[in-house]
Structure 1
Amino acid sequence: MSNNAMLSRVEDERVLVLEREFDAPRELMYKMFKEPEHLKNWWGPKGWELPVCTVDFRPGGVWHYCMKCVDRNQGQFYGMESWGKGIYKEMNEPESIAYTDYFSDAEGNINEDMPSTEVTLEFVDVDGKTRLINRGEYVSAEALNSVMEMGMLQGITETWNRLEEYLKEAK
């Protein structure tokens, strides 16, 4: 698997598994998902920033963030905000992080009309590089299809591309 290739597959019609190898040690990769000062530099698709990012990294803790489109070339999306809230379930540093990911508002209220995701991130050491495995489980195939139709796969690809660029600076 080359650094830029993201593999994706659907299991049981409602679990999306994404994998990509990054040229960074596992401990550094783990920090990228744990610390807000890192997340602010790469989380979100191209042309989006993270003006709000608070992290309480512990089981039951909350990650609350706002992605904002700052790219005028994205037309109707320019200026748009998208709020998210993660509730951490467990972490095993530097091997894994599990959390439930929700769409939310600025106050952290969960948007019940949008599908939530049970996320498990695995950080696998591969000779000093890291294979990131992201398992996203949805309540139904329809819920998974709805986020796919929103462009989630493109968004994650662009986000992970930004992570790869940021890792070059962070080493």
Structure 2
Amino acid sequence: MTDLVITRVFDAPRDMVYRAFVDPDQVAAWFGPVGWSVPRDSVEIDPRPGGKQAFTMVNDDDPSMTSPVAATFVEVVENELLVGEEDVSHIPDFGADKLRMRIEFFDEEGGRTRLVLTQSPFPAAMETGAREGWGSSFTKLDKLLA
């Protein structure tokens, strides 16, 4: 097991990038790697400690292939920090019962935002696919923020 850490700079102010993670309309517009989409009616987000984040990614070519996400926020600081935990005990070979995701938002020069995403504990065997998935999602987010 490892920590999956991804850092990405977005060409948008911090409050705008933060909103893209907590506004259901925006999450539906960008989340999921290319080839997957998130139906707006599947998105539920209550960004406060104890609040839920739930949605379902659906494969564009085969809608019977889905990947549901159901997490609980444990720490929220508006425009700065989102921390959530998800029960992953149902995922074969994951090797942990809970996955914690921490997303930090930092101001960068020129009105840009540095995002640092940490998922842990994370199975090393799944790291490459996860990095590619996040990178693909963030490419969609870049377009939304432009």
Which protein is bigger by CA-based radius of gyration?
A: 1
- Separation in structure 1 between the aligned mates of residue 53 and residue 126 of structure 2, nearest angstrom: 20
Q: CA deviation at 1:33?
A: 0.7
**Matched AA of 1:157:** G
Calculate percent identity across the aligned residue pairs.
Answer: 28
Q: CA deviation at 1:146?
A: 3.8
Q: Is the 8 A contact 1:66 1:83 kept in 2?
A: yes
Matches within 5 A, 1:14-163: 14-51=2-39, 52-70=42-60, 72=61, 78-79=62-63, 80-103=65-88, 111=90, 113=92, 114=94, 115=96, 116-127=98-109, 128-138=111-121, 143-148=122-127, 151-163=129-141
SS of structure 2 residue aligned to 1:164: helix
Q: How far is 1:112 from its partner?
A: 5.9
Measured after TM superposition, the shift of residue 102 of structure 1 is 3.9
Displacement of 1:117 after TM fit? 1.9
Alignment check: 8 A CA contact 1:124 1:131 kept: yes
Q: Gaps (5+ residues) in structure 1? A: 1-12, 73-77, 104-109
1:32 is paired with a residue of what secondary structure?
helix
User: TM-score with structure 2 length normalisation?
Assistant: 0.87
* Greater RCO (Cα-Cα under 8 Å, separation 6 or more): 2
Q: Deviations over 1:102-155 (max 9, x none)?
A: 45xxxxxx62644442111110000210000001110xxxx4224326x21111
Contact 1:84/1:102, CA 8 A, preserved across alignment: no
Structure 2 residue runs of 5 or longer lacking an equivalent are: none
What is the aligned residue count?
Answer: 139
